[in-house]
Structure 1
Amino acid sequence: MNNLPILDITIILIYLAAMVLVGFYFMRKNKNPEQFTKASGTIPGWAIGLSIYATFLSSNTFLGVPGKAFGSNWNAFVFSISMPAAAWIASRYFVPFYRRSGNISAYEHFEKRFGAWARTYTVICFLLTQLARIGSVFFGIALSLQALTGYSMSVIMIVVGVCIILYTVLGGMEAVIWTEVVQAVIKTLGALLILYLLIAGIPGGIKTVFTIAQSHQKFSLGSFSPNFTESTFWVVLFYGFFMNLNNFGIDQNYVQRYHTAASAKQASKSVWLSVALYVPVSLLFFIIGTALFTYYQVHPELIETVKQQVAGERLSTTASSIEITQLASTLKPADYGDKVLPHFMVTQIPTGVTGLIISAILSAAMSTISSGMNASATVFTMDIYKRYFHPTATEKEKLRALYISTMVFGLMGLSTGIAMIGVKSLLDIWWQLSGIFAGGMLGLFLLGIISRRATGHEAFTATIIGVMVILWMTFSDSIPAKYAFLINPLHQNMIVVVGTLTIFLVGLLLTAGKRKRSRMVVNEEFKETV
């Protein structure tokens, strides 16, 4: 690490080593699949709540949210505002549903409800979502550490990835949860420390932040007009509500935690605790982004390095310094928002404190990645390996499959992160990918639990139609200009909303139509009999 003082390097290495040692500590408990996947149902509700909160608070939040607030406004905070409504539905209906089922996989009930195809479809969607999530989080780590170390983003991802894979593979779900409890505290303190250092470096402090931010409309939550072609308040609200329903209702990362609690009541409390923590802390990161904007408005000369760096990355390696400077002068805050916080850390934070904050960023990333790896391995083992390849697998064989698949998904997520190098906005790319994969899963889930009369035939037809709508909305931008009327007019965040509603409503309509036809047939038979 050629740019960091020895003290900062030491703090980071101690943190990474401690996480690996936690994995070794819990390794001795992993004697069977139940312990590896749900810690034998012995985790207290408060620890699960902190664990869910830590999973929400990934490096996408740590870096992407301040970058978004720096480059635009607080429109993305509406996502957090939608969480309590989704949490109420989850604690009231979803948690009891999964606790009664007893299935560690969130997707096993799809087969019982609609057939094997439904289980396979949702499993594939979930695993693709996890690759997108893990990859974007790996990318977030590298984005921050590259500015601090000078090493390539690929090397950073590989080094950190090895540590994460080690403690997740060794420790199982219990290691994941208890490390996330520690990480939840570390990352929250890290965010508060960053905000303190920012305010301390701004003449006039909070008053200046408020004045400058208000003059640039930084506190705006977006337009309240009924416009779904742009990222308005309503677009983000609907997107957030459906995505949070997906998280609490169909995402293995969260469903698996419901089974680690001693009771359904403890599991429900964990959902509310995670929301009670995440909403105000996510607001804290928007405040950090706004404070960063103010800081560089007060010290405009300090931001030139970032603009030059981004301009250099966009041009070819043979570009002259004059060309780079010309492009840098045209860049807007949204073009380099994700790089501002790492730049502030490397240039303005004292030695020793930098190591602590980097550890906080690492903890934000590690909790999401380790959780995603464990959940993906659980789904693969229970829904693919045991279901299709080895139905009579012994406990020892399933445990071995869990170990191997955890490692494989960690490596696949790492590869996805490397492939994301060069994206413009970390938060935007994650929102887009998750919306594409999640829409079909949630629509099918809601159809299954709300409509008791819907069968596999109606569900399959509705899912095919819904997937076609999702694909059209996602890729219609590539349609030639002469067929512009076929291009999706809605904002990309509406994909999960429209996709979910399409599958759910089409399924209901097909079911209602079937019942109507059945009644007509009965009436005709009755008339013939009379």
Structure 2
Amino acid sequence: MGSFQPIDYIILVAYLLFILYIGIAVAKKEMKGKEFFKGDGSIPWWVTSVSLFATLLSPISFLSLAGNSYADSWQLWVAQLGLLIAVPVAIYFFLPVYRDLNLDTAYEYLERRFDKKLRVIASVLFIIYQIGRMSIIMYLPSIALSAVTGIHAVWIILFMGAIATIYSSFGGIKSVLWTDFIQGVVLIGGGIFALIVLIFSIQGGIPEIFRVGVAENKFFSEEVLFDPNILNDSLFLIFLGAGLSTAFSYISSQDMVQRYLTTTDLKQMNKMTVGNGVLSLGTATLFFFIGTALYVFYKQQMGNNIPTGNSDLIFANYIVAELPAGISGLLIAALFAAGQSTLSTGLNSVATSWTLDIQKIISPDLNDEASTRIAKFISWFVGVFSIVFAIVLVYTDISSAYEWFNGLMGLVLGIIGGTFTLGIMTKKANAKGAMLGFIVTAIIAVYVSYFTDISLWAYSLINLVVSLLAGYIFSLIFTEKSRAEEKNEILTYYDHKKAE
């Protein structure tokens, strides 16, 4: 059994300092106002595309994708195919409207389509969700990395959180995008290298991986493939549910939409989305295949006594135990990369949403210098708070309760996605109808999630249907004209098509 060597620590620290340097240097000048929030127009689409991908793939995903296929099968890989739903939906229906409106934040759309109240509510919910997500994204991987490297979890949290906080607050979205790009490249490169080493370590190579995988149902089983009950975790329901959930992230989550808003060129937006889809599907496939290869590797090494227990640690254990010193440091750095990209994005999106969606409504005359100063303070404050809360999680036993909270907030963000869909896809929906539809959908979503046995993959579909039906029906009951009917402005998909 190998262990983390001094050279690994040196490489890991050097990588973290390199990312800090890039994050500060890439801005070149102090970014203010819209440049801080939306960039200066100099960021290529392919950088933003990799940033989208790095934002979605946290270190939890890095570990759990391989762990899932190692311990079970490729069933959840089908969730990645949901991108075939999410990408066309975003490109065809939503991004053209966002481009036409030249939004500053995702939730500005809700104000322009409905009213300020919905904008503020959506922004507050997003901020709470992101703070929780950032804390848990530092906490869970720190436990895994501590187990395989020997570094105390608190030090891992401090390094990961402090560096992401410094560069995201310094250079705004531009620093975040370029560092995310580097983190994404490191992440993919590390995964490819690990798989190559694995393949050469297995007698029979790739054909043997497929042979064992098929023989032992490590890919798909017939029962799952042909389950006629869509309320079970059938492949069709996983595909549909993940597709709608990913689409909601693309169209209504500030951390995702903010990337689109760095350009007003629709072709660039579409390239970002397609590029992210290809990267996400390709990388998920890579890590699922790594998990199956790990199963075959340990099967050859240990027979039926393969490592069991927490499958999320299997890949990290392999990196430290089986790979040469130095290489282990690089691949653990890739895990840090996944964490830092998600953290820096979260910090920047929270700062942007607070400043533009809430503070500017409280203080409409806020100038560029003041708004940038507030955003930087929010980045620092939220960064420190998330670090402290993640450290609290290390020393307490409340992680399960916190995951429950995180799941609840994820549900609510799904409801926000339904409200965006109501606004884009209907002209008659008005502010009162949208607000009441939001409340009804939230109640039903909580009931379905915590008081029924319905598959979690059905939640997004239920949220969408209830949001559309309730929001539209209430809008017809309250017969006031909607802003889409009153204003000569492109607020819906139909307005965009008419203007073409």
Pick from 474, 477, 502 the counterpart of residue 449 of structure 2.
474
Shift of 1:61: 2.4
Distance 1:205 1:414 in 2: 43
User: Per-residue CA shift, 1:65-98, capped at 9, x if unaligned?
Assistant: 1111122211111121110221112122322211
- Whether contact under 8 Å (1:248, 1:254) holds in the other structure is yes
1:271-282 matched pairs, under 5 angstroms: 271-282=273-284
Shift of 1:174: 0.8
- Whether contact under 8 Å (2:160, 2:339) holds in the other structure is no
Counterparts in 2 of 1:97 and 1:262: CA distance versus 1, 3 Å: closer
| Letter in structure 1 aligned against 2:133 | R
Pick from 344, 356, 370 the counterpart of residue 370 of structure 1.
344
Matching residue of 1:391: 364
Gaps of 5+ in 1: 308-334, 477-487, 516-530
User: Per-residue CA shift, 1:137-168, capped at 9, x if unaligned?
Assistant: 32343144213322332332122211111111
> Kindly, what percent of the aligned residue pairs are identical?
26
Shift of 1:229: 4.1
Specify the structure having the higher radius of gyration (Cα). 1
| Letter in structure 2 aligned against 1:133 | R
Matching residue of 2:68: 68
Distance 1:282 1:430 in 2: 26
| Letter in structure 2 aligned against 1:437 | V
Matching residue of 2:192: 192
Pick from 453, 473, 493 the counterpart of residue 489 of structure 1.
453
The alignment status of 1:500 with 2:500, answered yes or no, reads no
User: Per-residue CA shift, 1:372-403, capped at 9, x if unaligned?
Assistant: 11111100111112212x22222111111110
Equivalent position SS for 2:30: coil
Distance 1:473 1:135 in 2: 26
Shift of 1:198: 1.8
Distance 2:285 2:398 in 1: 24
Equivalent position SS for 1:82: helix
Matching residue of 1:208: 208
- Whether contact under 8 Å (1:133, 1:434) holds in the other structure is no
Matching residue of 1:101: 101
Distance 2:310 2:55 in 1: 26
| Letter in structure 2 aligned against 1:445 | F
Shift of 1:297: 2.1
| Letter in structure 2 aligned against 1:190 | G
Counterparts in 2 of 1:124 and 1:75: CA distance versus 1, 3 Å: farther
User: Per-residue CA shift, 1:301-324, capped at 9, x if unaligned?
Assistant: 8977x65xxxxxxxxxxxxxxxxx
Counterparts in 2 of 1:382 and 1:53: CA distance versus 1, 3 Å: same
Q: Which segment drifts farther, 53-62 or 349-358?
A: 53-62
Matching residue of 1:414: 387
- Whether contact under 8 Å (2:36, 2:173) holds in the other structure is yes
The alignment status of 1:259 with 2:267, answered yes or no, reads no
Pick from 280, 288, 291 the counterpart of residue 289 of structure 1.
291
1:513-524 matched pairs, under 5 angstroms: none
- Whether contact under 8 Å (1:143, 1:153) holds in the other structure is yes
Counterparts in 2 of 1:110 and 1:402: CA distance versus 1, 3 Å: same
User: Per-residue CA shift, 1:418-454, capped at 9, x if unaligned?
Assistant: 56667999xx989945642322101111111111111
Gaps of 5+ in 2: 480-500
| Letter in structure 2 aligned against 1:247 | S
1:112-511 matched pairs, under 5 angstroms: 112-220=112-220, 222-261=224-263, 263-300=265-302, 307=308, 335-388=309-362, 390-415=363-388, 417-418=390-391, 432=407, 435-476=410-451, 488-511=452-475
Shift of 1:285: 0.7
Shift of 1:202: 2.1
User: Per-residue CA shift, 1:468-501, capped at 9, x if unaligned?
Assistant: 011112332xxxxxxxxxxx12012322331232
- Whether contact under 8 Å (1:423, 1:429) holds in the other structure is no
Distance 1:410 1:501 in 2: 36
User: Per-residue CA shift, 1:105-131, capped at 9, x if unaligned?
Assistant: 100121232222211221123223323
Equivalent position SS for 2:456: coil
Equivalent position SS for 1:367: helix
Name the count of aligned residue pairs.
473
Distance 1:424 1:294 in 2: 32
Shift of 1:14: 1.1
Counterparts in 2 of 1:302 and 1:22: CA distance versus 1, 3 Å: farther
Distance 2:324 2:305 in 1: 18
Distance 2:68 2:123 in 1: 31
Counterparts in 2 of 1:41 and 1:262: CA distance versus 1, 3 Å: farther
Counterparts in 2 of 1:465 and 1:301: CA distance versus 1, 3 Å: same
Distance 1:302 1:62 in 2: 26
Counterparts in 2 of 1:495 and 1:423: CA distance versus 1, 3 Å: farther
After TM superposition, the score normalised by the length of structure 1 is 0.83
Q: Which segment drifts farther, 191-200 or 501-510?
A: 501-510
| Letter in structure 2 aligned against 1:294 | V
Equivalent position SS for 1:493: helix
Counterparts in 2 of 1:496 and 1:458: CA distance versus 1, 3 Å: same
- Alignment root-mean-square deviation, CA: 2.6
User: Per-residue CA shift, 1:196-255, capped at 9, x if unaligned?
Assistant: 222222222223222222222111174442434432212321221111111211111221
Distance 2:460 2:382 in 1: 24
Counterparts in 2 of 1:420 and 1:293: CA distance versus 1, 3 Å: farther
Equivalent position SS for 1:219: coil
| Letter in structure 1 aligned against 2:275 | L
- Whether contact under 8 Å (1:22, 1:179) holds in the other structure is yes
Shift of 1:132: 4.0
- Whether contact under 8 Å (1:125, 1:441) holds in the other structure is no
Equivalent position SS for 1:40: coil
Shift of 1:37: 1.1
- Whether contact under 8 Å (1:41, 1:262) holds in the other structure is no
Shift of 1:269: 1.1
| Letter in structure 2 aligned against 1:252 | Q
| Letter in structure 2 aligned against 1:414 | I
Distance 2:251 2:92 in 1: 11
Distance 1:469 1:337 in 2: 34
Counterparts in 2 of 1:190 and 1:52: CA distance versus 1, 3 Å: same
Q: Which segment drifts farther, 79-88 or 119-128?
A: 119-128
Distance 1:385 1:62 in 2: 36
